[in-house]
Amino acid sequence: MSHRRAVLLMIVVTLLWSSAGVVTRQLEEARSFEVTFWRSGFNTLFLAAILAFQRGAALLGQLRSAPRAVWVSGLAWSVMFTAFMVALTLTSIANVLVTMALGPLLTALFSRVFLRHRLPLRTWVAILVGSAGIAWMFGHEFRGGEGMLGILVALGVPIAAATNWTVLQHAAGQDDAEPDEPTPTSDMPLAVLIGAAISALFALPLAWPTHAGPHDLTLLAGLGLFQLAVPCLLVVRVTRVLAGPEVALLGLLEVIFGVLWAWLLAGENPSSATIVGGALVLAALVGNELLAWRHNIKN
What are residue 77's phi and psi, to 5 degrees? -60, -40
CA 62 – CA 196 distance, rounded (Å): 17
Q: What is the pLDDT along the chain (299 residues), one digit of tens a residue?
A: 788 888 899 999 999 988 888 888 888 887 778 989 999 999 999 999 999 998 888 888 888 888 888 899 899 999 999 998 888 888 888 778 878 877 777 887 788 888 877 778 887 888 888 888 877 877 776 666 556 788 788 889 989 988 887 887 777 665 444 444 444 456 778 888 999 999 999 999 998 888 889 999 999 999 989 988 888 888 878 877 887 667 777 887 888 888 888 888 877 777 777 778 878 887 887 787 778 777 766 76
- Determine contact, residues 20/223, Cβ cutoff 8 Å: yes
- Residue 189 located in a structural domain: yes
- Residue 42 located in a structural domain: yes
Domain span at residue 213 reads 3-53+71-298
- Residue 66 located in a structural domain: no
- Residue 65 located in a structural domain: no
197: left (phi over 0), alpha (psi -120 to 50) or beta: alpha
CA 260 – CA 270 distance, rounded (Å): 8
- Residue 62 located in a structural domain: no
- Residue 97 located in a structural domain: yes
- Residue 121 located in a structural domain: yes
Report the domain count for the chain.
1
CA 283 – CA 22 distance, rounded (Å): 25
On whether the pTM is more than 0.75, the answer is yes
- Residue 239 located in a structural domain: yes
